[in-house]
Structure 1
């Protein structure tokens, strides 16, 4: 199984205790959906290695995971900072116009007014606002994720359809002509 067949779930951040437990950061919308996890794939030196879950405790600020066959702090330390993956088959089926962030990387952004603009390069998540990053005219453009802006998706054409707010592109493209530079100064 390759990373293309999987999605990123989170990361092992540090050891916890002396018996092989690890703190886990879950990069998912609903961590509680992973409380019954039986196994998970660890990215160890670029290879996905399955590990069986002995116990997992989902908490608001820090979740803890314990794997079978990892019983010491030394063994746990060896897998700290490993990314965690699950097969795409584990993902819930979405409505036709919904998408998972990982699946739109590389999709073309097609705007109602501007037409085809560029490709999705990343998706940034935060508590305040999720943002889709796109490369447009050698600039990174950040598009807020909202139903008013991101309209629908065409998986076959690998296109994401948007209705960008007026002036959004111009904000990223405008040069700050009022800022003096060294060549503007008189000697």
Structure 2
């Protein structure tokens, strides 16, 4: 499985028992959707390796207590500590309306209600406390905070996001 065909689900955070059970931190608002997984991909040395799940249950809302097949001791669990876990993109729940996954809108046209087309979304920068749309218009990079009230509409059919940005925000980039 290629990483490009998967989405980041979380990270194996800590050991839970001496029998090899681990706690996986889930990077999701709906951890209950992932309670009954059959398998996940664990990133080991930059390769995605399938791990089959014997049993799992939610633990303190954002953790999944997991017993993997073939991980039956603390030593075996040590080998996967801190590893990222992934699932195929096909297992993402379908979002509707103006909700979207970050990877889904890369390549969409960004259009402002006043200014019209402002460029193409090339990335979502989520390294800061406020995620940003990274938009390219020719050689100019425009950064727009991903704030719900800025997003008017997500038009999946036409691969567009309609934005209503504050006066002057986009001009800061275009007139620099």
> What TM-score results when the alignment is normalised by the length of structure 2?
0.77
Aligned to 1:71: 72
Asked if 1:40 is matched to 2:40, the reply is yes
C-alpha displacement of 1:174: 10
C-alpha displacement of 1:70: 0.2
Query: Structure 1 residues 97 and 21 mapped into 2: Cα distance closer, same or farther (>3 Å)?
Result: same
Q: Which structure would you say has the larger Rg?
A: 1
C-alpha displacement of 1:157: 5.9
Aligned to 2:101: 100
Root mean square deviation of aligned Cα: 3.0
Aligned to 1:143: 145
Pairs within 5 Å for 1:106-145? 106-114=107-115, 115-117=117-119, 119-124=121-126, 131-134=131-134, 141-145=143-147
C-alpha displacement of 1:46: 2.0
Unaligned runs of 5+ in 1: 176-187
CA contact (8 A) 1:101 1:123 kept: no
Q: How many residue pairs are counted as aligned between the two chains?
A: 172
Aligned to 2:153: 152
C-alpha displacement of 1:135: 5.1
Aligned to 1:26: 26
C-alpha displacement of 1:107: 3.8
CA contact (8 A) 2:12 2:84 kept: yes
